[in-house]
Chains A and B, each alone.
Chain A
Amino acid sequence: GAGVSQTPSNKVTEKGKYVELRCDPISGHTALYWYRQSLGQGPEFLIYFQGTGAADDSGLPNDRFFAVRPEGSVSTLKIQRTERGDSAVYLCASSSGGADTQYFGPGTRLTVL
């Protein structure tokens, strides 16, 4: 079956611009996670949705970052006033229940010039 998909695969933007990154989870998965992976580092947690609501957003670095999942399926990560330090791979994962078995998408590589 189809895995987690993320679009775009690459995004280049200029400092100060707004970007949206999209995640399509595995069909039927109620839990959805966003992570950020910088070069040479492991993924770092950003936010977790259970259904439509953000169950844990403790990993969002500041108020420029926001995520939604309005219908409990597709999610969008939104970054306002991008900074060069936001450059990273943004990974989405989904699971059918517990946080222990998460399936990752290929990521969106964001470059802020």
Chain B
Amino acid sequence: QKEVEQDPGPLSVPEGAIVSLNCTYSNSAFQYFMWYRQYSRKGPELLMYTYSSGNKEDGRFTAQVDKSSKYISLFIRDSQPSDSATYLCASISGNTPLVFGKGTRLSVIA
């Protein structure tokens, strides 16, 4: 079992929809949780970063972590065609390497 599991999709939604992206993880030691966005043929770009459980909001994006169920979510409100990309969740504990999920490919259709 991989330490971070993520449904690869693809996920296709109409413009303006609310998007929900999810990951599960197995390592109880993970303390930091990130979401990266990766456009085609580009490197991953840090989108959101959360420490421990709770919610974090940044504009149209909300990251949620539930450590009791080992569940990580990213919500995108009022999705735009420019949000079309692969979204990668990642987790880390202390100074261990980042562990990534496979990524979910999202298409927002105008």
Binding site for B on A (CB under 8 A): 4, 33, 35, 40-45, 48, 55-56, 58-59, 91, 93, 98-107, 109
Contacts and interface: CB of A to CB of B under 8 A. Distances in A.
A42 B46 CA distance: 14
Contacts of B100: 42-44
Q: Which size bracket describes the interface of B in this complex?
A: 20 to 34
Interface of B: 4, 6, 8, 32, 34, 36, 41-46, 49, 88, 90, 92, 95-103
Contacts of B49: 100-101
A1 to B, nearest CB: 15
A99 B95 contact: yes
Given A41-B102, A42-B88, A45-B98, A100 B43 contact: no
B85 to A, nearest CB: 14
A42 B90 contact: yes
A35 B100 CA distance: 11
Contacts of B95: 55, 98-99
A99 B96 contact: yes
